Amino acid sequence: MGYTAMTMGNIWTTGASIMIIVNSQFPEDPVPSDTAIVFVACVTGPSSGRVNDTFPISGSAWIDKGYYNPQDFSFYQLFYRPTGDSTWIPIGDSQFTETRHATLGFWNTVGLAEGPYDVRLILKDLTGDSIEALKQVTLRILGQEEEFSGEINESLIVRQMNSRLFYIEDRSSNSKIRIYDILGRVVLSSKKDNFYWSAPASGIYFISSYKNTKKIVVY
């Protein structure tokens, strides 16, 4: 499956089959059996961002296998380049933990020019076989009054109660919220659909749900 969407149903892989899913939407995670294996590489957002900023790249990067398949996930890494250029530049280091419908990494755009960029996700297994997914992201210079907050989706609600206390609510049907610091470390992971969170220190944080990521600055 490549650059497509499956709106309903389940995906099953059996026997010695190999399934590759690239930048595609599906309602349930694929289920492999026997010696089957599934590669998933998706960059889902954002479609635009701000120069001289740091913001999250969301998506999925994982490998699932049947019980009798010895193969497994090795790592993934993000890259970028100006559209039309031939040189790929890393976005952070290689990541050795699988990511499912969450934040893949954080892109620091300090010093970059406005315009379209290609973001590349490479996923590798233990033998070095790999698949990749591409997404175009347009960088813009925004006014001081504008704040980048990922893909527009009002299901994620963030209200600042005081300088460090926030009320967080996810109104989607798939509640799982993670909070990251500026280095990409998980500060909090919760399956509750609403809760209060007190920031441990000043700094920049990213609150990420299934469909949306919002950036907050704590002073």
Could you report the per-residue pLDDT of 129-146, keeping only the tens digit for each?
999 999 999 998 865 334
Share of the chain above pLDDT 70, in %: 91
Beta strands 12-13 and 31-32 are parallel
pLDDT digits (tens, 9 = 90+) for 36-79: 999 999 998 888 888 888 888 989 999 999 988 888 999 999 99
pLDDT value, residue 175: 72
pLDDT digits (tens, 9 = 90+) for 94-112: 999 999 888 898 898 989 9
- The identity of residue 202, as a single letter, is S
DSSP 167-192: EEEE-SSS--EEEEETTS-EEEEE--
Find out if CATH 3.40.50.280 is the number for domain 12-140. Answer: no
Domain-wise residue ranges, the chain: 12-140, 156-218
Contact between 36 and 12 (Cβ < 8 Å): no
pLDDT value, residue 211: 65
Whether residue 200 is preceded by a cis peptide bond, meaning omega within 30 degrees of 0, is no
Query: Mean of the per-residue pLDDT values for the chain?
Result: 86
CA distance 78 to 139: 17
pLDDT value, residue 177: 87
Contact between 33 and 14 (Cβ < 8 Å): yes
Q: Fold for domain 156-218? A: Immunoglobulin-like (2.60.40)
12-140 with 156-218: one CATH topology? yes
pLDDT value, residue 167: 92
> Which residues, in sequence order, are bridge partners of residue 56?
106
pLDDT digits (tens, 9 = 90+) for 158-177: 988 888 899 998 887 667 88
Q: Three-state SS for 93?
A: strand
Contact between 49 and 115 (Cβ < 8 Å): no
Share of the chain above pLDDT 90, in %: 42
> Which residues, in sequence order, are bridge partners of residue 82?
117
